[in-house]
Amino acid sequence: MAMANNNTQCFTCHEENNTYTCKTCSNELCFIHLPEHQQRLNKELYHIIDHYNIFKERIDEQKQHLHNNSLMKQIHQSEINSTEIIQQTPKDCREIVRKSSQTYTNDIEMKFNDIREQIKQMQNENGFSEINLNHLRSQLFKITEELNNLPNIPIHHDSQAFISEVSIISEKKPKFNKWKQNAITAAAGNGSGHKLNQCYRPGAIFIDKKKNIFIADTYNHRITEWKCTAKEGLIIAGGNGSGSRMSQLNQPKDVIVDQKNHSIIIADFGNKRVIQWMNRNQRIIIDNIDCCGLAIDKHGFLYVSDSYKNEVKRWKMGEYNEGIVVAGGNEKGDQLSQLNSPGYIFVDKDQSVHVSDRYNHRVMKWRKGAKEGTIVAGGNGFGQNLNQLSYPYGVIVDNLDQIYVVDSGNNRIMGWCEGKEEGKIVVGGNGQGNQSNQLNKPMGLSLDNEGNLYVVDCGNHRIQKFELIL
């Protein structure tokens, strides 16, 4: 266990005190909640074992009733109503369903056996962490969901034919942009540090028209600009240590560039202010705000998320009075009119606000003037399934209204179509790591004007570029 860290917020009680770092999950915990943390890990393992035993009964039952499902009954009824001449058609359909169901069940059983071996290994070695348990729990949730949702093979009946015909039809799936799965490091990637070729837990980026990268270098308390293909960055704001002076920043979370007046706007989170830097001159434009995310729409309005007040406000550029609440603002909660620690935001061409609702594990869309939002990604609790998110952060929407969101807790980027029940992994999702196809606690993301995807790989202290496949 690491030495105590001073004046750090405890992950459990959120109080600032001397904390200790859990090596397995990197959470900071105070002395009181540290033993509770370990006890919870042990309890969760036993819960997973119970879940495993229940699942074993389910899969045995599923194997016994493989042939007794509604699809088979529909095909059988069609066979009765048809003549001997067309009996080959339902026979072929039945074979398709049988093979599909058999393959599906065999695949689930293989995954189930793998989980059984992992549990045995944990019990024999008596060594496991919260990361191990989260991974194990996610696998169980996923295969349980697969078992509850048998292959979707809709039946088509042709009632206009002389003899009723039946056939198998396929379901069309949404199309997302595709990127190369092995990224190029576009900035930093030389370990954590304060040198010009390094970052320290960066939070967000902004890509301008020339593909220059502006980085909110959070724990270096600075904003750096990396020219396209540059090997090191240039400090353009902060960089004078953590502090509240006008020349200083304190854990900046986000940065955007107002290309109309060539200024940069910074969410100076630790100082609870939004600050504008223009030609090396600074001014506070919004004060007393727990600012996490920033956005500017095409009409020149500035949007800021407040993680403490659980709201997003809008200001007209140059007129920074009280601002107008455009999302949330109804205390902390999980209702459609509420948010719980909103993070990054994106405003589309219709001035609809997309906000990562972090502790509700979902992305919300608030149309202009709406009193409540709609869930456009996640919203099915914390988890690793394709219909779930785990602490979402960065969010963007492309020209085809496809939503891309940083699924930070699952180390992946998800693509989502509004109205769909689940998303798709577009990059990452290969476990936590530092390989070119892996991410480690990603935070922000952005697209350049050619459609290449940039991800703030916070835990690896680097910016990753995933090139678009044309």
pLDDT tens profile 401-459: 899 999 999 999 999 998 899 999 999 999 999 999 999 999 999 999 999 999 999 99
At 83 the pLDDT is 57
Distance CA 467, CA 452 (A): 5
Predicted local distance difference test score (pLDDT) of residue 163: 47
Contact 202, 455 (CB under 8 A): no
Angle at 85 between CA 80 and CA 90, to 5 degrees: 50
Amino acid symbol at 102? Q
**pLDDT band, very low/low/confident/very high, at 291 (cuts 50, 70, 90):** very high
Q: Mean of the pLDDT values across residues 37-45?
A: 74
Residue 405's contacts (CB-CB under 8 Å, 6 or more residues apart) are 356, 363, 377, 378, 389, 392, 393, 394, 395, 413, 414, 416, 423
Neighbours of 249 (CB within 10 A): 33
Flag whether the pTM goes above 0.85: no
Q: Which two tokens stand for residue 147?
A: 């078992």
**Better pLDDT: 7 or 438:** 438
Determine contact, residues 21/2, Cβ cutoff 8 Å: yes
Q: Which helix (H) or strand (E) holds 142?
A: helix 130-148
Lowest-confidence segment of 122-136, 186-200, 346-360 by average pLDDT:
122-136
Structure token pair of residue 187: 């900035």
* pLDDT band per the 50, 70, 90 thresholds, residue 287: very high
Q: How much is the pLDDT for 288?
A: 95
The average confidence (pLDDT) of the chain is: 84
pLDDT single digits (tens) 109-165: 777 777 777 777 777 766 666 666 766 776 777 677 666 665 555 555 554 544 455
Domain parsing of the chain, residue ranges = 4-67, 70-125+135-148, 178-469
- Position 9 scores a pLDDT of 76
Q: Is 194 exposed, middle or buried (0-12, 13-18, 19+ CB in 10 A)?
A: middle
Q: Is 45 helix (H, G, I), strand (E, B) or coil?
A: helix
Nearest to 370 by CA among 386, 355, 385, 389: 355
At a CB cut-off of 8 Å and minimum separation 6, what does 257 contact? 206, 208, 214, 263, 264, 265
Q: How far is CA 304 from CA 166, 254, 293, 323, in A?
A: 55, 10, 6, 10
- Tell me which CATH code domain 178-469 carries: 2.120.10.30
pLDDT for 253: 97
